[in-house]
A and B are shown apart, each in its own frame.
Chain A
Amino acid sequence: MPAVRDIDVSVLRDAVSRLLVEANYTIPPDVLDALRAGFAREESPLGRRTLEQLIRNYEVAAVERLPVCQDSGVAVIFLEVGQDVHWIGGALRDAIDAGVRDGVASGYLRKSVTADPTRRLKMAGDGGPGVVHLDLVPGDSVRLTVASKGFGGENMSALRMLVPADGVPGIIDFVVDTVERAGANACPPVIVGVGIGGTFEGAALSSKRAAFRPLTIRHSRADVRDLECDLLDRVNALGIGPQGLGGRVTALAVNIELLPTHIAGLPVAVNLGCHSTRRMTIEI
């Protein structure tokens, strides 16, 4: 029987804080590479100027240690915890939220979360809490991803309960329509996270995972990879272009995640990520 590994929650708290700040100052290399590749193929003058400005923004933010965008968003924490890990020193959830609040304060990030969504209560925000997605996996290590989700793309995201007869053509129409309706609002070039299958909430969560999947990773199934490429071509044919100023580069990638679903259903969720997609992962 494997030994249980004790980890103090303060280790997690400090890691969340550090990753939140770093993610907000430094755009992931795969996103920056995709923006540079987009710049190379963009034909519209305003689109090229916009991509150049964005790349410069990310270079300057990393060197000068500034938030790449004032919308440092909601902190979304993906935690894969080995089932042989034993947390000591306090409550796991409290430690994560303390890490989020500390990162927002120490990193000069905007307090973008309101505790009361009805806005009836006047409550000063403190940057937290985060949104936490926890998975138990074999082993005694922890994989922590801290992402910042801005609401330009989040507000334009959508979920639809398609039916089996809609099939892949229905999926294509819904994804393309969602990106088209989002237009400039989602801060294109966007990263299109698509969750297909599962349940209502399962599709939504898997579209979030897809939006934060590295752009260098394609789906393991060849036909789904082809669907990702086909959807990217269709989205880029919309002409929206960088920041909606017209052009060829409306999306940097379409990432699809599949889940088994009910024989009567075909849930599809589209979570739009802006070009400032911020995420960082470590193993503990």
Chain B
Amino acid sequence: MPLHQAHDDRDLIGTPVSHITTLDCRDGIPESVWSQLCAGDAVELTARVLTLRDASAARLVNALERDQPPPVSLAGEILYAVGPSPAKPGQVIGSAGPTTTERMARYLPALFRAGVRGVIGKGELHGGDVEAFSSHGAIYFAAIGGLGALLAKQISAASVLAYDDLGPEALYALHLVAFPVVVIIDRAGRNFHEAARAQWRTKS
């Protein structure tokens, strides 16, 4: 069952957040919605995205730094930090939850300069990494780590575009459908992980 239909009559009653923003990028990023996204917004994203991993990011940025064309244009693209499991027969893709973005943070400024507009991953970014987003007007979305089996159901197509030899770290194009994410760093440079921690911290 798709995740976005999960709030049914099971005994674990969901606690829907007050509002979920629909972000449909199939015909390009809708600027009116994009510019309004705020840190902490729950979003269901429908988009074709490119995957980002330690090995593929290193290769991409190595090409960019040598003024070689990357194997795929990054202009206007959203990247998803993921290294999927192999697909079982009949599956589009195996488990496909996010990996830790911070490991690839050093590559992001070059990727933003090449036109990347958003990154989906998991985990914290601080200091200069946050500034790299805000100075390029890019948005950082977190998907839920450890949600691999369910998130795979929100991917309708997967194909390897480049670096096939890297196996799970190859550069894939994935079609995400109503893929649940939360805005962590918005265009104003607000950092939701830090704000949420401050809000829920118990003073001792």
Do they bind each other?
yes
A residues sitting closer than 8 Å to B (CB atoms) are 36, 39, 44-50, 52-57, 60-61, 64, 66-72, 108-112, 119, 122, 124-125, 152, 155, 183-185, 187, 234, 236-241, 243-248, 274-276
Report the bound CA distance from A109 to B144 in whole Å. Answer: 19
B16: Cβ under 8 A from any A Cβ: yes
Q: Which residue of A lies closest to B199 (CB)?
A: A246
Q: How large is the interface on B (under 10, 10 to 19, 20 to 34, 35 or more residues)?
A: 35 or more
Q: Which residue of A lies closest to B88 (CB)?
A: A108
Q: Which 6 A-B pairs have the closest CB atoms?
A: A246-B196, A239-B201, A239-B200, A185-B123, A237-B202, A61-B149
Q: Which residue of A lies closest to B143 (CB)?
A: A243
A residues near B102, Cβ cutoff 8 Å: 185
Q: Which of B63-71, B92-100, B111-119 contacts A (4 or more CB under 8 A)?
A: B92-100
Report the bound CA distance from A28 to B63 in whole Å. Answer: 44
In the complex, the answer to whether B14 meets A239 with C-beta atoms within 8 Å is no
Contact with A along B160-192 (1 / 0, CB 8 A): 000001011000000000001010000000001
In the complex, the answer to whether A54 meets B83 with C-beta atoms within 8 Å is no
Q: Which residue of A lies closest to B40 (CB)?
A: A46
In the complex, the answer to whether B18 meets A112 with C-beta atoms within 8 Å is no
A residues near B83, Cβ cutoff 8 Å: 70-71, 110, 112
| CB of B52, distance to nearest CB on chain A (Å) | 14
In the complex, the answer to whether A184 meets B124 with C-beta atoms within 8 Å is yes
B106: Cβ under 8 A from any A Cβ: no
In the complex, the answer to whether A187 meets B202 with C-beta atoms within 8 Å is no
In the complex, the answer to whether B96 meets A238 with C-beta atoms within 8 Å is no
In the complex, the answer to whether A52 meets B15 with C-beta atoms within 8 Å is yes
B76: Cβ under 8 A from any A Cβ: no
Q: Which residue of A lies closest to B147 (CB)?
A: A57
Known contacts being A70-B148, A109-B85, is A243 close to B200, with CB within 8 Å? Answer: no
| CB of B148, distance to nearest CB on chain A (Å) | 4
Known contacts being A53-B3, A275-B146, is A244 close to B95, with CB within 8 Å? Answer: no
In the complex, the answer to whether B204 meets A243 with C-beta atoms within 8 Å is no
| CB of A166, distance to nearest CB on chain B (Å) | 20
| CB of A115, distance to nearest CB on chain B (Å) | 13
Report the bound CA distance from A21 to B177 in whole Å. Answer: 28
Which of A67, A110, A124, A239 is in CB contact (< 8 Å) with B197? A239
Known contacts being A57-B146, A108-B94, is A247 close to B200, with CB within 8 Å? Answer: yes
Known contacts being A48-B15, A70-B95, A110-B85, is A184 close to B200, with CB within 8 Å? Answer: no
Report the bound CA distance from A185 to B101 in whole Å. Answer: 9
B30: Cβ under 8 A from any A Cβ: no
Which of B87, B100, B202 is in CB contact (< 8 Å) with A239? B202
Which of B14, B15, B84 is in CB contact (< 8 Å) with A70? B84
Report the bound CA distance from A52 to B15 in whole Å. Answer: 8
In the complex, the answer to whether A241 meets B200 with C-beta atoms within 8 Å is yes
B130: Cβ under 8 A from any A Cβ: no
Q: Which residue of B lies closest to A241 (CB)?
A: B200
B72: Cβ under 8 A from any A Cβ: no
B residues near A239, Cβ cutoff 8 Å: 196-202
Q: Which residue of B lies closest to A189 (CB)?
A: B146
| CB of B134, distance to nearest CB on chain A (Å) | 19
A residues near B152, Cβ cutoff 8 Å: 66
B136: Cβ under 8 A from any A Cβ: no
B122: Cβ under 8 A from any A Cβ: yes
B residues near A240, Cβ cutoff 8 Å: 197, 200
Report the bound CA distance from A49 to B149 in whole Å. Answer: 17
Report the bound CA distance from A78 to B88 in whole Å. Answer: 29
Which of A45, A70, A152 is in CB contact (< 8 Å) with B17? A45
Q: Which of B117-154 contact A (CB under 8 A)?
A: 122-124, 142, 144-150, 152
Report the bound CA distance from A234 to B204 in whole Å. Answer: 9
In the complex, the answer to whether A60 meets B167 with C-beta atoms within 8 Å is no
Which of B12, B94, B182 is in CB contact (< 8 Å) with A52? B12
Report the bound CA distance from A45 to B82 in whole Å. Answer: 26
Q: Which residue of A lies closest to B7 (CB)?
A: A52
Report the bound CA distance from A164 to B110 in whole Å. Answer: 47
In the complex, the answer to whether B196 meets A245 with C-beta atoms within 8 Å is yes
Report the bound CA distance from A68 to B146 in whole Å. Answer: 7
In the complex, the answer to whether B146 meets A60 with C-beta atoms within 8 Å is no
Q: Which residue of B lies closest to A277 (CB)?
A: B146
